[in-house]
Amino acid sequence: MKEQINIGLCGLGTVGTGVIKILENNKEEIKHKLGCELAVKRVLVHNIDKPREIHFDRRLLTSYPEDLYADEDIDIIIEVMGGIEDTYLLLEKALEHGKHIITANKDLMAVHGQKLLQLAQANQCDIFYEASVAGGIPIIRSLTDGLASDRIQKMMGIVNGTTNYILTKMTDEHSDFQAVLQEAQELGYAEADPTSDIEGLDAARKMALLANLAFQMNINLSDVDVKGITAVSQEDITFAGRLGYTVKLIGIAAISEGKVEVSVEPTLLPQDHPLALVKNEYNAVYVYGEAVGETMFYGPGAGSMPTATAVVSDLMEAARNIRLGISGSSYVSPQYETRLKADDEKYTRYYVRLEADDQAGTFQSLTNIFTSENVSFAKILQLPASKEGSAEIVMVTHKISKQQLLNSLKKLDDLEVVQKLISYYRVDGEE
C-alpha cells in the first residue's frame, strides 16, 4: 500500500486556502484514519506572485495545468477554482492521465457532470463532488451511501445561503430586498453580480445534481423549473405571515409513478416546518424516503472551512480507495430513462395575490373563474388597497395542478374586475 498520496490543488482562493489549513492542522488525525500521509505537491494559481494569507512552500505554485495532470507522482487533483469550459478541459486531461478528481464546482458538474463521471469510470478513476451541493452538509454521501437502500420520493431544500439570508432579513427585520442584497454583498454572502443566486440558477444546478442521484435519471439544468426571489415583496412576506407561512426559496425534486418534477421557486411553508426555521446563510435538505420516512440535513452551506471540510472528506475517500485498490468503482450510470411530469401532473397548493375592483360582484366573478377550473380555496384574505376603489385579495388554494393554476391566471388576466395579478407562489410542506 502507498505510504503517501500526493495531491495537485487547483485554486488557492477561499476554499483552497481552507483545504491547505485542514490538511496541515489535522495532519496526524488524517494519517491515523487513512494509514498514510496526504501531501500537496503542486498548486495551480493564476498569479504566482500574489500575496497569500497562509504560509507554505511557494515553490509548489505553478500557473501551468500540465504541471499537475502530467505529473506521474500526483495521484489526486482537487479542483476549487471554479469556471466551466476551461476547467472541464483540465479535468478531462487529468482523468485521461489517471488522476482521481475532487471538485466543489456545481456549475461544472451540472453542465458536464455525466461526461466526467463516464470518463472517470473508463479510466478507473474516482470523481467526488460533495462540496458542490450544500457546502459542509454531507447530502451526496447520504444519498449514495446512507440512504442507498431506500427509494427517495421527494427532496425539499434550502440550498442557497445568499437567498436564505435575504429572505430571513426581509422576514425578521422587515427590510427592503435591495438593502438586504447590498448588505449580503458587503458581508461576502453574495457576489458582486448576484444574478445566479437571486434568480435561482445556483440552487437549480444543485437540485439537478441531487435529482440525478436520488432518482437515477439524467436530469439536466434545462429540466428544472426556475423562479428567483427578485419579485418577492415585503407585502407578500407579511401576508404569508398572517396566513401562518414563511417564504423561502425552496428546491424541490419529487418522483411519482416513474415521473419526476424538479423546481426552484419561492415557496410558502408552514411556520413550524423544519425548513421554515432555517435562517440566514444556513442550508438544509429535507428528504422523504419510502422506508426511512422523513430526515433532514442541516448546516452551513458555504464558507471556507465548511466547504473545505467536505472537500477533504472526499479526498480521504479517494485516498482510501487508492489504498484498497477499488478506485473507479463508485460511479453508477442512470438506471432509468428520464421522464418529466407535464404541468397537469404537478400538484401542490398555491398562494395567489391580486388587486381587484372593490365592488359588489367581484368575488362572484373571481369564484366563477376558479370554479371553471375546479379550483377551491383553503384560505382567503381581503384588505383595502392603497388605491381608492380597489381591494387586495390573497388566496391559498387547495391542492391543484400547475396547469389548473395557469389556466385560471390566464382567465383572470382577461377579467375586467381584476386590475392586476400581483404575485403567485407555491405552498408546500403541509402533508
Give me the CATH topology for the region 343-427: Alpha-Beta Plaits (3.30.70)
- Comparison of pLDDT for 204 and 51, the residue scoring more: 204
Residue 305 has a pLDDT of 87
Q: Residue 82: is it exposed, middle or buried by C-beta count within 10 angstroms (0-12/13-18/19+)?
A: middle
What is the per-residue pLDDT across 99-111, written as a single tens digit (0 to 9) for each?
999 999 999 998 8
Residue 431 has a pLDDT of 67
Q: What is the mean pLDDT of residues 186-197?
A: 86
Q: At the top level of CATH, which class does the domain 139-298 belong to?
A: alpha beta
C-alpha cell at 399: 391542492
- The lowest-confidence range among 109-113, 276-280, 304-308, 394-398 is 304-308
pLDDT band at residue 389 under the 50/70/90 scheme: confident
Q: Is the pLDDT of residue 306 over 90?
A: no
C-alpha cell at 224: 428544472
Kind plus residue range of the DSSP H or E element containing 28: helix 27-34
Spell out the alpha helix ranges (H) of 199-324.
Answer: 201-215, 234-242, 304-324
Residue 134 has a pLDDT of 80
Which of 99, 106, 206, 248 is catalytic? The answer is: 206
pLDDT band at residue 407 under the 50/70/90 scheme: very high
If DSSP codes are grouped into helix, strand and coil, which group holds residue 404? Answer: helix
Q: Is the pLDDT of residue 207 over 80?
A: yes
DSSP state for residue 190 in the 8-state scheme = S
What is the rounded distance in angstroms from the CA atom of residue 311 to the CA atom of residue 330?
Answer: 17
Query: Quick check: 348 and 426 in contact, CB under 8 A?
Result: yes
DSSP state for residue 340 in the 8-state scheme = B
Kind of pairing, strands 127-128 and 259-270? unpaired
Torsion of CA 112, 113, 115, 119, to 10 degrees: 130
Spell out the alpha helix ranges (H) of 161-271.
Answer: 161-172, 177-187, 195-198, 201-215, 234-242
Residue 205 has a pLDDT of 94
What is the rounded distance in angstroms from the CA atom of residue 108 to the CA atom of residue 205?
Answer: 9
Q: Is the pLDDT of residue 386 over 80?
A: no
Give φ, ψ of 9 to 5 degrees. -105, 120
What is the per-residue pLDDT across 10-63, written as a single tens digit (0 to 9) for each?
999 989 999 999 999 999 999 999 999 999 999 999 999 888 888 888 899 999
C-alpha cell at 267: 415557496
Q: Is the pLDDT of residue 80 over 70?
A: yes
Kind plus residue range of the DSSP H or E element containing 20: helix 14-25
Spell out the alpha helix ranges (H) of 227-303.
Answer: 234-242
Q: Is the pLDDT of residue 198 over 90?
A: yes
From residue 171, alpha-carbon distances to 199, 276, 280, 295 in Å are 19, 11, 11, 26
* 206 part of the active site: yes
Residue 124 has a pLDDT of 95
To the nearest whole number, what is the mean pLDDT of the chain? 93
C-alpha cell at 66: 500540465
**CATH pick for 4-135+304-324 out of 3.40.50.720, 3.40.190.10, 3.40.50.150, 3.40.30.10:** 3.40.50.720
Share of the chain above pLDDT 70, in %: 100
Kind of pairing, strands 100-103 and 127-128? parallel
Residue 203 has a pLDDT of 95
Domain locations along the chain: 4-135+304-324, 139-298, 343-427
